[in-house]
Structure 1
Amino acid sequence: MAFQTPQHELSDYLKWTTSGKIQLPDFQRSYKWEDERIRQLLVTVLRGHPMGAVMMLATGNDQVRFKPRAVEGVTLANGVEADWLLLDGQQRLTSLTQALTGDGVVNTKDARGQKLQRKYYLDMDLALQGDDRMDEAVRSIPADGTIRSNFGKQIDFDISSEDKELEERHFPLRLLYDPLGAATWLTKLPDVATTMPAFMAQVIQPTNTYDIPAIQLDKTTSKSAVATVFEKVNTGGLPLNVFELLTSVFAGDADYYAEHGEDFRLNDDWHQTQEHWKSQPVLETVVSTDFLQAVTMLTTLKQHRAHTGDRPPAVSAKREDVLKLTLKDYIEWRDSLRAGFIWAATFLADRHVFKAKEVPYAKQLVPLAAIKVVLGADADLIGVKERIIRWFWCGILGELYGSANETRFARDIESVPGWVKDPSAAVPRTIADASFVESRLLSLSSRRAAAYKGIAALVLAQGARDWMEDKALDKVQYVDLAVDIHHIFPQKWCETAGIDWSRCDSIVNKTAIGAHTNRAIGGVAPSEYLGKIEKRAQVGAHKLDGLVAGHLIDADLLRSDDFNGFFEARREALCQLIEKAMGKDVQRDLTAGEATEDASAFEIEDLTDGEDHFDGVE
């Protein structure tokens, strides 16, 4: 890669952006600077202070092919070809182009994100008092030239015509780099003989020689170098993620262009993937970078297995390895992974996870889909599926996918496929690492916690039915019944009875029921609401007790309003359910009647997660 670092005058940049000599690669984020940030940029120019370098890539590179688009606010004729693509400095040059050329109207927004159209003016009297007044002198004015109050009924300041601009001595900055236009405007001032020379000398002439340094990358710049550029020097906005970086690399694939006659559009391809998944709500949790990580795992796994030397390449899902993907790698795995994620969605449905917000760990879908691709049709064999299910629940109930996911991804894709096909193979680390202690049930109160969601789904999956309508809480009925998780002993009753809050709000005292049933429960004692349900549903006590038992609840303890007995019995029932799912013992660290021992370590986590769910009628 070769580059130069010349200085160019701002006037040249404005000519190049408006003529199309400088354009943007079409994957660059849209223009988004706020009004005050633009105003401060203009102050910087008028004071002659440096604003930082811009970076441009010469077009015509055989390795890096980008589809160009005009700087926002500029309209170009068809067929106008760019000489340079702007890699860094988009927000600054777009702001300056809109504010200092044409009609000077900038499409921006205020600090609250409300869209605005503004023009920028210079209060001449303040500007001529010296550099230290320049911040006050630069004014942002609504595009119609009027500042209003009283809900727009009263005009407080009006420069909506040239005559009014002259009267208020507010120079339109759209003329700053238009010598003829600026001179024509200035000659109309009443005191032109004294003001015009001073203004030209102190404002117009210095800004017309204002320089901005450039870093210009030549036509030999490689794909990896461009990716590094986007990663390291995108100073005008948020750092680009790996999806955006690979968008730039894939768009420049010369072989694809030679075969198809057009560039590969990764963003368009991702939209096609989402369209492919639209019937699977749980896949709304999967983002573009997740998909790329799955591709990377499969790519590096293939390379690892094909290596014949002493040090095979590592299986990886790390960012630096995602950036090494080629378009060929991506296309090789794309279709099978699209199907793999759909399989993962049906896998979740079989586990009674139906909605995006109920997915315990969205990131666990990445290795799950990749494991399906590796296993192929074998993933649905009974014994294989049972072991995948065990791995899945160990990850959730062991709460292992909350951080350091890339390392766990790699370990799982290496070990899980072999173990699920041959249980005599080494047990995957996710299963070996997973553990659950009884006291964790006391601190699981946040619906954002993975284990909370997992336990709720496990209860449904073992046969829970709605108490009012005796319907299976499956994928169809779950939506029809508006199922959600609610307290068994209502909050209001618990408060009155003096029940410790950690036990009242624990997952032990919650279960999934339909909206109709929850309205019947209200905030009264279980003995009272069970009677109400019997009456409304016209169901006998024995039948209702069976439906309640389907949620691992002892109905006799509900009917006697025995919270402590209920809590201890259900806590033990949930421990046994968790043991069955994980295939390993739950450590019992509580004694009968014990409330919160060892729970404090988890309370901060749950508070951070944010418990924002309350039963509507309680």
Structure 2
Amino acid sequence: MRECYEGKLQLPDFQRGWVWDQDRIIDLLASISEGFPVGALMTLDASGEVSFAVRPVEGAPAPVKPLEAYLLDGQQRMTSLYQSTFSQMPVATQTAKKQPTKVHFYFDIQAALDPNVARSEAVIAVPEDRVIRENFGRDVKLDLSCEEYEFDALHFPIDRIFDENRWQISAAQWMARDPIARQEKWEMINRFAQEVVNNFTSYHVPVIKLGKDTSRAAVCLVFEKVNTGGKPLDAFELVTAMYASEEFHLRDDWKARRERLIAQKVLAKIEPVEFLQAISLLHTKERRNEAVAKGAEPPAISATRNSLLQVPLDAYKKLAGKVEAGYVAAAKFLHSLKIFNSRDLPYQTQLVPLAAILAELGSTWENDAVRQKLAKWYWCGVFGELYGSAVESRFALDIRDFAPWINGGAEPQTVQRASFEEKRLRTLRSRLSAAYKGVHALLMKSGAEDFKSGQPYVQTVFFDENVDIHHIFPEAWCKSEKIEPAIYNSIVNKTPLASATNRMLGGVAPSAYLGRLHKGNDSNPPIAADRLSAILKSHEIDEALLTSDNFTDFMDDRRSKLLAMIEAAMGKDVVRENILPMGREDDYYGEEELEEAA
């Protein structure tokens, strides 16, 4: 407590605010009063190379002595104890219903000494003025606003627990004025000091002390392991605290960059750690190139948490603008692939190497040959489904391999290892899949035009018309034909359409809604036969199969066309299989698979 008061023990600034409510504080005080363990604290020697911006434990004054240690684990307990036992100020906490409140904590001495009363019931929270009122504040239930009232009511102020001797001396003086009447209370005060107060003053808390040689990565790992009660700490918060020790406000810098980046809707979900990962890729690659030039052992290119913690502030300042430009270029590139919205982005994670590659390439990426290779790499990542897990190692390979590739070197590992199997199409049913979103984008990229308006899906149309992926053979019609959901919900039976167009199609057979499009109505002019044929063709749809409501042959035909589209995007053959036509679900799908899909 003294170290918190003096500032020798402080919180690293990545620690979140104090959040315990008064019931949790009461439980903590009750446990200590009975000598029960409340867990260990963890500190880090502040004299090592790991340096964080700090702040005092909440409620403590400005530091008067040099910092000696960071409190890594135990913030909630130490802050609760400091405010309730060491500070004379009311504890600024909250009720169980999360309403802010300021209270002082007291022991009801009689209840604390009664073995039949739970110790937590002997701890009470009293308002800031130390008066408990009832009847809507009109009546005083308990007044503890001065020491004599405390003695008379046998209520001990817990914020005097380490100054109990003076409180007891005042109690002795109070008793001397009426020794006979107050003898019983004096005896209880003495017993309380021995049985309860001594448990606080002699209490030992285990402290795990991390030495000054502890690495930044170890600090981050340790903190995440012990901080199980709240949101996991990420590397950005640690880096923020480290840069703050050099008087650089990373959080403010990131906030400004993020505001500029999310103006592009495809970047709306960008996370600060992802931005740091892109910086780390470029920084570690620079260090690797420098080592190679000197003939030294080259360090690894990396975007792991450890590497993020090793990015010095001068490297961040040097590369942040470059990476931001890389993300802006990434948005432009994605728009060219008809990916406009973060919701339709196949992999959020693939943005990291994409932005890093584009940051390194600069304006070179707009060269047609480079753009073609970039698109091939991107679609291989999407349809190879390579960015779902263990992505940091793939990031490093991407940034290592891409530049040599455009200069005549070998294909990147992502391109080499990507593989798409024909059977995968039947399992693509929701936008949770990167490949599902990839097909959606490829259809728009290949020139798909809206069934009703005939407009291609450029960015303005996409947002103005609320374009999304919808069924071609409507769901209601498929149900009426007893077709399994596992079949008709496949991406093969879906295509991008404006929301108004999808509503106009309704749940009727394709032949019926094609008739509506041909005929038109008061609000929709008729579409010429050859024009409608061209529109359907832009969606890789055979008009004759749609007109005849031939679902089985339609699915087989369109599957084949989608596979060809995917092959063209990846620049390699998909893995074909010898299977029965897609619409013949009884043979094509096993019974268990159908049940699972349904």
TM range (shorter): 0.7 to 0.9
Q: Mapping of 1:366-381 within 5 angstroms?
A: 366-381=352-367
Q: Give the distance between the partners of 1:84 and 1:336, measured in 2 at CA.
A: 38
Deviation of 1:591 after TM superposition, in Å, equals 2.8
Write out per-residue CA displacement over residues 36-72 of structure 1, whole angstroms, 9 at most, x where no aligned residue.
543432233112233344345576x595554432323
8 Å CA contact retained: 1:318, 1:406 = yes
Question: What secondary structure is seen at the aligned counterpart in 2 of 1:17?
Answer: helix
Q: Distance in 1 between matches of 2:586 and 2:273?
A: 40
1:451 aligned to 2:435? yes
| Kept after mapping to 1: 8 A contact 2:14/2:238 | no
Q: Which has the higher contact order (CA 8 A, sep 6+)?
A: 1
**Structure 2 matches for 1:73-152, cutoff 5 A?**
73-74=59-60, 76=61, 83-88=67-72, 89-100=74-85, 101-108=87-94, 110=96, 114-115=98-99, 117=101, 119=103, 120-130=105-115, 133-138=118-123
**Letter matched to residue 509 of structure 2:** A
Q: Select which of 350, 361, 366 maps to 2:336.
A: 350
Rounded Cα–Cα distance in structure 2 between residues aligned with 1:599 and 1:298? 47
Shift of 1:384: 0.9
In the superposition, the TM-score normalised over structure 2's length comes to 0.83
Deviates further, 189-198 or 238-247: 189-198
Q: Which amino acid aligns with 1:96?
A: L
Task: Report the equivalent of 1:285.
Answer: 269
Do the aligned partners of 1:493 and 1:524 also contact (CA within 8 Å) in 2? yes
- 1:544 counterpart (524, 529, 532): 532
Structure 2 residue 566 is matched with structure 1 residue 584: no
Task: Go from structure 1 to structure 2 and tell me whether the alpha carbon gap of 1:577 and 1:159 turns closer, same or farther (over 3 Å shift).
Answer: farther
Look up the match of 1:304. 288
- Based on CA coordinates, which of the two structures has the bigger radius of gyration? 2
Q: Match of 1:616?
A: none
1:412-442: CA deviation from partner (whole Å, max 9, x where unpaired)? 11112211232xx212111111111121111
For each residue in 1:102-158, what CA deviation from the matched residue of structure 2 results, as whole angstroms up to 9, or x when unmatched? 454342475xx845547555454442134993245446789899999xxx9999x99
Question: Distance between the aligned counterparts of 2:510 and 2:321, measured in 1?
Answer: 52
Check 1:236–1:399 CA distance in 2 against 1; reply closer, same or farther (3 A cut): closer
Distance 1:227 1:580, change over 3 A: closer
Distance in 1 (alpha carbons) for counterparts of 2:282 and 2:592: 35
**Structure 2 residue aligned with 1:401:** 387
- The residue number in structure 2 matching 1:320 is 306
- How far 1:537 moved relative to its partner? 1.4
3-state DSSP of counterpart to 1:511: strand
Report matched runs for 1:224-373 at 5 Å: 225=215, 228-233=218-223, 235-237=226-228, 240-252=233-245, 257=246, 263-306=247-290, 307=292, 308-309=294-295, 311-373=297-359
**Number of the residue aligned with 1:614:** none
State the Cα distance separating 1:315 from its structure 2 match. Answer: 2.2
Give 3-state SS (helix, strand or coil) of 1:212's partner: coil
Residues 231 and 240 in structure 1, CA contact (< 8 A), matched pair in contact too: no
| Residues 279 and 319, structure 2, Cα contact 8 Å, conserved in 1 | yes
CA contact (8 A) 2:477 2:507 kept: yes
Could you say what secondary structure the match of 1:484 adopts?
A: strand
AA in 2 matched with 1:325: V
Change (3 A) 1:246 1:55: same
The residue aligned with 2:144 is 162
Q: Deviations for 1:231-251, whole angstroms, at most 9, x for unmatched residues?
A: 325635555322233334333
1:95 touches 1:106 (CA, 8 Å); kept in 2? no
Partner of 1:28: 15
Matched, 1:45 2:29: no
- Superposition RMSD in Å: 3.8
Secondary structure of the 2:535 match is helix
Give the partner amino acid of 1:465: E
Secondary structure, counterpart of 1:96 in structure 2: helix
Give the C-alpha shift of residue 196 in structure 1: 1.8
Counterpart mapping for 1:483-498 below 5 A: 483-498=467-482
For the structure 1 residues 271 and 493, does the alpha-carbon distance in structure 2 shift closer, same or farther, using more than 3 Å as the test?
same
Q: Give the whole-Å Cα distance in 2 for the aligned partners of 1:28 and 1:481.
A: 45
Measured against aligned partners, the alpha-carbon deviations of 1:215-242 in whole angstroms (never above 9, x if no partner) come to 6678xx36x6355334325635555322
Query: Per-residue displacement from partner, 1:541-580 (whole Å, max 9, x unpaired)?
Result: 5233433332222233333322222222221111111011
For 1:402 and 1:203, locate their aligned partners in 2 and report how far apart those are by CA, in whole Å. Answer: 56
Distance across 1 between alignment mates of 2:587 and 2:368: 40
Distance in 2, Cα, partners of 1:115 & 1:506: 49
Unaligned runs of 5+ in 1: 1-12, 258-262, 612-618
Cα distance per residue 1:165-215 (max 9 Å; x no partner)? 999976554444453568769979985234322222211232133233556
C-alpha separation in 1, matches of 2:460 and 2:202: 69
Does structure 2 retain, via aligned residues, the 8 Å contact 1:227–1:248? no
Contact conserved, 2:131 with 2:144, CA < 8 A, in 1?
no
Determine whether 1:529 maps to 2:519. no
Instruction: Identify if the C-alpha distance between structure 1 residues 310 and 199 changes in structure 2 by more than 3 Å, giving closer, same or farther.
Output: closer
Work out whether residues 384 and 421 of structure 1, in 8 Å CA contact, stay in contact via their aligned partners in 2: no
1:34 CA drift (Å): 5.3
Sequence identity, in percent? 37
Name 1:461's counterpart in structure 2.
445
Q: Secondary structure at the match of 1:537?
A: coil
8 Å CA contact 1:25–1:85 kept in 2: the answer is no
Partner residue in 2 for 1:7: none
Write out per-residue CA displacement over residues 238-292 of structure 1, whole angstroms, 9 at most, x where no aligned residue: 553222333343334xxxx5xxxxx122222222321331312222333222222
CA distance in 2, matches of 1:73, 1:265: 24
Secondary structure at the aligned position of 1:300 is classed as helix
SS of equivalent residue, structure 1 residue 439: helix
In 1: Cα distance, 2:331 partner to 2:187 partner: 76
Can you list the C-alpha shifts for 1:333-375, whole angstroms capped at 9, x where unaligned? 2211111111111111111111112111111111111112232
Alignment TM-score, normalising by the size of structure 1: 0.81
Deviation at 1:455, TM superposition (A): 0.7
- 8 Å contact 1:176–1:182 — kept in the other structure? no
Q: Which residue of 1 aligns with 2:461?
A: 477
Tell me if structure 2 keeps the 8 A contact 1:467–1:548. yes
Describe the shift of the 1:102–1:310 C-alpha distance in structure 2 as closer, same or farther (beyond 3 A): closer
